[in-house]
Amino acid sequence: MSALRSLLRGSIDYAGLFPPAGLDMAAAVANYASYRDGADAWALGRFVAPASRIGEFESAAAGLLPPSPSPAPWRVAALIGANPAADIRVLGELNCRHAADGEGAVTADVVEGKGDSVEAVERLLRLVPPYLQAYVEIPITADPAPLVAAIARAGGRAKVRTGGITPDSFPAAGDIVRFIRSCLSAKVPFKATAGLHHPLRAEYRLTYEPDSVRGTMFGFLNLFLVAAYMADGLDDREAGRLLEERDRDSIRFDDTGVEWSGRRLGLEAIRRSREDGIASFGSCSFLEPIGDLQSLGLL
């Protein structure tokens, strides 16, 4: 297995329902089924859907799910809204309907919510039962350490928004580095979402419209490498430089590790960074990240 595959295995949580793709449920579910059966399924993570649309998801997926019990069920990450208790109940009912000897054909095992204060984080995580892993999206313009600490105390995970469909929705690179440092220090795994369609930092169209505005987007490869190198001792200044890296030739993968700017990272460090650090990233496209990796000669 190449180091790149170790770094990105199961990393792309497919969020085709959300902008800028904004697909209907039937199309998004059909895409997910196709990706699971494709040659690049190794990179595919969970299907992302609002908890309020779980019934719609279940109907659309009915003819596409694997036989139950399944050694490889579909896994769902559900976004919870204004009534978390009700949303969590819906997910429990989904899991009960598909329970079998072993695992059913589909399981909702992750919930994602938001918390902009220690109290909000604690209130949300108190509602999450043990069978669900919770991610809490937190703001990062101010020091996120108190919020990350609250997430750690409750056994949750953190989530950071790294972009959007307007230029002003992208955070500063330094804020992302500070967020990652806070998570690593508190031993809180995390995920990222939005604005991460492409592997490397560069200017891109922010939507799929022909007249779309352009903006400088973060690269998901940059982000995963930053998390891995920081966990291995890279300081914040150099982490910021790696997050801003645009030169594909400065990053070299092989079967035993990766090298950037004269720094070598082995497979064990990469594996630890995925287990204890960065878990995944949400993307409304699966084909675009994979296609870009191929175009860069990395796959």
* Tens of pLDDT, residues 145-156: 999 999 999 999
- Looking at residue 247, its pLDDT comes to 96
Beta bridge partners of 157: 135
On the question of pLDDT at 243 being above 60, the answer is: yes
Residue 53 is given by DSSP the state: G
Residue whose entry in the numeric block shows the structure tokens 């139950």: 68
| Residue 172 burial by Cβ neighbours in a 10 Å radius (0-12, 13-18, 19+) | exposed
* Calpha distance 107→94 (Å, rounded): 7
Q: What is the mean pLDDT of residues 152-177?
A: 96
What does the pLDDT average to over 117-138?
A: 97
Residue 104 is predicted with a pLDDT of 78
Q: In Å, what is the CA distance from 239 to each residue of 21, 180, 209, 220? A: 30, 10, 33, 14
pLDDT for residue 210 = 87
Average pLDDT over the chain reads 95
* pLDDT tens column, 55-75: 999 999 999 998 877 788 999
Task: Give me the amino acid identity at 193.
Answer: T
Please tell me the predicted confidence (pLDDT) of residue 71. Answer: 81
Tokens 């449920």 correspond to 25
How far is residue 74's CA from residue 55's CA, in Å, rounded to a whole number? 15
- Output the pLDDT for position 183: 98
CA distance 208 to 211: 8
Across 229-236, average pLDDT: 98
Calculate the alpha carbon distances from 245 to 14, 73, 201, 248 in Å. Answer: 25, 37, 6, 8
Mean pLDDT value across residues 81-96: 94
Q: Which two tokens stand for residue 192?
A: 């990222």
The first and second tokens of residue 187, run together, are: 């031993």
Look at the block and give the residue holding tokens 């089924």.
33
Q: What mean pLDDT comes out for the span 213-220? A: 95
**DSSP reduced 3-state for 206:** coil
- In sign, the C-alpha dihedral spanning 258, 236, 197, 116 is positive
Handedness of CA 253, 256, 257, 261 (dihedral sign): negative
Encoding tokens for residue 280?
Answer: 């995944």
Choose which CATH entry (1.20.1250, 3.30.70, 3.40.50, 3.20.20) describes domain 3-294.
3.20.20
Tens-digit pLDDT profile for residues 94-124: 999 888 655 679 999 999 999 999 999 999 9
**pLDDT for residue 100:** 63
Read off the pLDDT of each residue in 139-165 and give the average, rounded to a whole number.
Answer: 97
Amino acid 1: pLDDT: 53
